[in-house]
Chains A and B, each alone.
Chain A
Amino acid sequence: MARVPLLCQWLLNAASLLVPRELRVDWRREWYGELWHFIGARLESGDRQAYRVALTHCVGAWSDAWHLRREDEASAGALSRILRHPAFCVAALALLAAIVGAASGGFANTRRMIASLPYRDPSQIMVIRQTGYFMGARLGLPKGKVSGWRKAESLEGIAGYVGYHALVETNGWTEVEAAAVDADFFGVLGVKAQLGSLFHEPGARNCGDCVVISDQLWRSEFHGDASIVGGVRQIAGERRRIVGVLPRDFWFFAGAPGVWTLSDHCGFLASDRSLVYAIGRLRRGYTVDRALTELRKIYRTQPPVIKARQVELRSIEELTQDRMYRNLPLALMGLLVLSGGLVLVAPARKAGLRGAAFYTTKLSLTFLAAALAAIEFAYAPGLGMTGVRGFAPEAISLWVLIFGLVTSVWFAGYDQRRRCRICLARLSMPVQMGARGHVLMDRMSTELACPNGHGLLWAPEDPLESHPKDRWLRLDESWQDLFELSGKR
């Protein structure tokens, strides 16, 4: 007995939702019957492709269903009313923002930028580095100098780190970002393990082959198996023991390396002149300037003798949570809630106020989508382990913001011009008059009507300044019956 495959049934059922309700049962019955016979006949003739061909026929059912929907005048009228409703415009813009969210893992970078950093008292954590030879470039510091700064009174603690790539033995081999850090690194940040222990905690001190892994690596490659702690794996070319898993919300600059090893046991950091970056915890009561003066003094006197460029001390909050990018989405969301609320609660007679609030809602929502895209796809991912943002991500995010702002203003204005001044529905029935280039009579213009009968708009299309502006003709209630009739047709 031939059967209609489940996938075909799903396609037909989904397509049938497009078919007008009164025709739906018949439509589904006809398509199901046809497929049933088609598959049966094909199978009987020994055609192995019967199911695949049936599936391609089902795709045609969507075309058939859409045809019936278009033919249905009531549905076309209802669809037109939905498309012209101001809520549809807001929903479409919200969908744009939602697409950015879906593509970025639920605005992960924006949430990180807004939330407090996952360290103890993050305002006291400083990144220490040297200015480079070219604008914006930042260099590491000799490892020996970082060790020398341990005696600085202005810092409670200091730890060096450097990023690299490593292969991890999982079920196969996985390449991950890794970091070699001093034993005090997590202590300076004030982070505790969610499982096992970190390098500064008892059980992992002076443990050369120990490794700490990120929560993401633990979940994706080790399936969240708690027994992995204490296990030995081939990591970064050596047999190493996994001693701890970092907290789920932990991140460091653009993300979190999957693997953390100890720098003391790293071959490429054996020399005191190897360059590393450093983080330090500023002691309470010390200012950044005072700490910097002390660090520079130690740098000059402490061996090895290396000519210093300008040593720089920057707050990790300042580097990762730029004030403009942090506050912009919050400000736009506030504006959106305020203007959106005003559209809903403003009385109908205050048409001007509602119009202005609707304009602001569109503007803030469009710009919010652009700002979120700039943060998610350019600004936040562009921050390297060094705390330096590449030139391209910085420039791209700024251009996306500028383009987003210009587009938002243009779109909000363009859309607003073609909306009813009373009910904010998109105007319909455009009638074009005149011709481009006529300057005395029959200037090129378009006349539009509110689908709810509130008024008519005469909109000149010629961009000459001497020409008149838009003219809105408000219709009184005596016209309502006519528009209601046309809506029912």
Chain B
Amino acid sequence: MKAIVLAAGKGTHLTPFSPDRTASLVDICGTTVLEHTVKLLREAGVSDVVVVVNPAEQKIPRLLGDGRHLHVSVDIVRQSGPEGIGGAILEAAGRFQPGENFFLVYGDTLTASNVFVHAQQSHHLHRAPVAAVCLTSKTDPYGIIYMESGMRISRVVEKPKDVGLGNYVLAGVFVLPQIFFSYLKEASGSMIGALERVVAKDRLYASIWEDDWVDLRYPWDVLKANRIVMKGWDAASIAKTAKISEGATLVGPVRIAEGVTIQAGACLRGPCFVGAETFVGNNSLIREFTSVGAKSQVGFGVELKNCVIFGGTHVGRLSFLGDSVIGAGVDVGAGTMTINRQLDNRAIDVEIAGRSIASGLAKLGSFVGDGAVIGASNTLAAGTVIEARAVVPHQFTHGRK
């Protein structure tokens, strides 16, 4: 079977990380979401993957190449026509033959276990097109479905305004017939319009996904994705070339990549990940669910808790980063402190693209875009967003400003 993976799109809400990468390029423990998806597709027996990317996309072709290293054949298609999901799918229409069934996958979602195998089994069972569905705390950002007994979908509704609805939502994984492209054209590129046609003409079945699922929509979803991946770890692994001082303490499933240096007094509590050639200084504490990307430096006495650091980042001594996501090539000055909760433990709101968005999370730190520089001794309020390449001056009480 072949698959279309949608990796275009602006990812507006994923600020401050989106100008530099689409959601599918977010790095989780040394692997991008896109590579993770392609590997799972391969496990589900997919041999050919058509990846739809933005017209000017540079990174994805470099990352996937022809797909040989992932044991699939990769075909990159640029979305030059109409925008939106429908437009993206239609770019790939020419790759499929009449009568052929294919996977359609949204590139900004992530599951730990294999959602594709599950959807394929549902497809074989019902001998009909399938949409993976799951339950989320909110239904309004998604398409929702109504189903009958036997899991046949009777109706699909786009992003419902009705807050009284707690339906299963479309999880961004489908098995569809080739005629779907014609339906999309008939529906002027509307995904829901095309799915309605499948419901009416071909029958559409739900494949209920109960395992963890995350849609990388907001910056804090990066933390969720990281957690989902790490939750599945049951063993530690340390690369041969890693240099770990005798005085360091490693507890639980700690994964350490090639060329890492860990100095005396450092304590790593798994699950956590340290990327290739990263330096972890004396007496630092790397706590559960932290991922430090490749070629980073973690200074003396730094505490990291439930953090994702993309790589090439420097965290200065005696800093605390908690429940935060730090972009690539960021310079975090010494003594930087992220505040990660409100005094009354209220859920934290974050300003995204000019709007205040409720994260629903009581513990949340800061989101720092690629290449930003944070001066020494800064204290960042819970839910702070620092744009890519922004410069935050040093804070000090004496001397010349």
| Pairing of A with B | no
Residues of B within 8 A of A (CB): none
Q: Which residues of A contact B (CB under 8 A)?
A: none
